[in-house]
Amino acid sequence: MQLYQTKNYEEMSKKAAGIISAQVILKPDSVLGLATGSTPLGIYENLIDGYKNGDIDFTQVKTVNLDEYKGLGSENKQSYRHFMNSNLFDHVNINKENTNVPNGLEENIEFECDRYDNVLNDLAGVDLQLLGIGNNGHIGFNEPADSFTKGTHYEALAQSTIDANSRLFEECEVMPTSAYTMGIKTIMDAKTVLLVANGKGKAKAIKEALTGPITPKVPASILQMHKNLIVVADEEALSELNNNK
Ligand code: F6R
């Protein structure tokens, strides 16, 4: 594991964006696994700046997102497809046909999970998977469970995830309570995993994920077994880890 401690969110975002840019510069047709949520917003801003400055070219890049709320389509501004379009894809020279997000509107769970796994198979492997981490240690929407998941599946969201993510929904909006998500095995198959975290709220999850027992009760703990894990986190997110030294 390579661990980079940054002073704050801005530095975390810059550092992680630098790693993603390097991946694309070294391999212009990279397959990037992408995440949504508050943590990667600064990373995407930096990538957009990198594109505008002429440092990164997305024309050959392909992307595959971790997850999507079940029941939300691209026209819904809370959907992860909408998030990716408005926070990254609409601002860089990526071909939208090369971007993939599970289809939250697909009612047939088996069909959608098979379809997304086929998309992943056709891409022949994710070069770099960007991950945030939930307060409960989830990655993608793989919630604490009795066993590690494999491929794309339907997941009922944990109450702690609903509590954490409902902050992003307006009072009049109904937050979905389930999602489609890439499985843990798919995430582990990525050549490089880039885990990012900021803020005190993530300190316990980061400590458990990086130093605790490897258990599906803390899904991110499996990352300890990844051959090429890069962690970029700010001082606050690493505070419990540092206290432990
Ligand atoms: C998002 C995702 C989630 C988030 C996690 C942290 O696509 O897969 O695992 O990375 O819930 O979310 P934030 O960054 O909002 O704290």
Is residue 18 within a helix (H) or strand (E), and if so which, with residue range? helix 9-26
Residue bearing tokens 């505008």: 52
The encoded tokens of residue 245 equal: 């030294």
| Confidence category of residue 60, pLDDT binned at 50, 70, 90 | very high
pLDDT in tens, 19-28: 999 999 999 9
CA distances to 16, 186, 244 from 153, in Å: 28, 11, 36
Q: Pick from 138, 157, 186 the residue to mutate for probing ligand 1's pocket: most ligand atoms within 8 Å of its CB.
A: 138
Whole-angstrom distance, CA of residue 196 vs CA of residue 48? 18
Q: Give pLDDT, residue 244.
A: 55
- Output the pLDDT for position 172: 81
165 CA to centre of ligand 1 in angstroms? 9
Question: Mean pLDDT across the stretch 126-131?
Answer: 98
Q: From the CA of 164, how far away is ligand 1's center (Å)?
A: 10
- State mean pLDDT over 144-171: 93
Does 66 sit in the ligand 1 pocket, CB within 6 Å? yes
Q: Would you call 124 helix, strand, or coil by DSSP? A: coil
Q: Is 36 in the pocket of ligand 1 (CB under 6 A)?
A: yes
